Amino acid sequence: MKRALVGDIGGTNARFALWEDNRMHAVQVFATADYTSPEQAIGAYLADHGLARGELGAVCLAVAGPVDGDEFRFTNNHWRLSRQAFCKTLQVERLLLINDFTAMALGMTRLQAGEYRTVCDGTPDAGRPALVIGPGTGLGVGTLLSLGEDRWMALPGEGGHVDLPVGNAREAQIRQQIENEIGHVSAESVLSGGGLLRLYQAICALDGQPAPLQSPAAITDAALAGEPVALAVIEQFCCFLGRVAGNDVLTLGARAGVYIVGGVIPRFAELFLRSGFGASFADKGCMSGYFKDVPVWLVTAEFSGLLGAGVALQQAG
């Protein structure tokens, strides 16, 4: 049986691995800016591992955006892909394109001990949906359903673009400040890498303070060093994430649990675990008791999207 290849392609990096016997190995990361197309990057990957074109039976790529039709244009880098041309160029028998958050959700089914931390204790109800939510370049939201017999369905959506919820007067002021700057305020407007900087600038403007920090990384570093304004911004970020995740749990009935993924939160994991996320998560008035047994986990696994692409390939048969 021919080897399969899985890929998880983002705006900055493309991750590839071989998938054999339902397991992933030989992970390699490529900068998308260094290649003109996914075919070129995969060609380099194959060469690095002594494989010729034509040795892959199937490829599954996790990509950001809708995946209908032959042509796919990446939303966050310069690459384009034609299914037909891709298979011809790499001599691949089958190409499966899936949404990146579909892959991320499916990747949760392969988590190992040590790849997640408990944020809120609870008992997952395996017969109900699970929520997968992750601040990164944007805010990804997906739903994971168990179909039984180790089969899963992932439902992608555009939940990152719901309205940003507010739970008190201070949050209403913050939201209004941001609305004055950009118009409509979606959850992603705040709960993303760029959103963290926007939140910092809004809070500084509201409080009449200078805003010297110019990047999400600088804000995170300052908070970790104990700088009070940056700490307050991180705390508010975590509370907003709790409100959005709580809304999603109520909407989906996601009593199988919540997986916090993406590249932003792990950078300040200890602050997140001590934050008001949990209180905001369950702050739903008469429905607050609904959250008593809903577990929340912070995922620290490095290649969940790649694993999820493998699971998708495996389930596709």
Residues at the binding site for ATP are 7-12
User: What is the DSSP code (8-state) at residue 202?
Assistant: H
- Report how far Cα 261 is from the mean position of its chain's Cα atoms: 5
Collapse the DSSP code of 139 into the 3-class scheme (helix H, G, I; strand E, B; otherwise coil) and give the result: strand
β-pairing, 80-82 with 71-73? Answer: antiparallel
Other Cβ atoms less than 10 A from the Cβ of 156: the count is 20
Q: How far apart are CA 14 and CA 33, in angstroms?
A: 10
Collapse the DSSP code of 228 into the 3-class scheme (helix H, G, I; strand E, B; otherwise coil) and give the result: helix
Amino acid (one-letter) located at 179: E
Across 92-169, the runs of DSSP E, i.e. the strands, are 94-99, 116-120, 130-135, 139-148, 151-156
Amino acid (one-letter) located at 254: A
